[in-house]
Amino acid sequence: MFGKIGMGELMLVLCIVLLIFGPSKLPSLAKSIGQAVKEFRKGASNISKELDDLSKEDDNKDNKSEK
């Protein structure tokens, strides 16, 4: 199926990364990927929080206008 990575595909990708970057660069590469994922999740969380806040404000305005 498209979008699912099996064990064989994962091993192939890891071997290619090892050949391209070498064993000395892998720890720094993994660290930078981890930091990028962390920043992405933080940004997505902030956007989600802002959208929820805006939705609550709109609900409050609608409730006040109905009274």
d(CA 33, CA 14): 14
Determine the pLDDT at residue 36.
Answer: 96
pLDDT tens profile 6-42:
899 989 998 999 999 898 998 998 899 999 999 999 9
- 63 by Cβ neighbours in 10 Å (0-12 / 13-18 / 19+) ranks as exposed
Can you tell me the distance from the alpha carbon of 4 to that of 14, in angstroms, rounded to the nearest whole number? Answer: 16
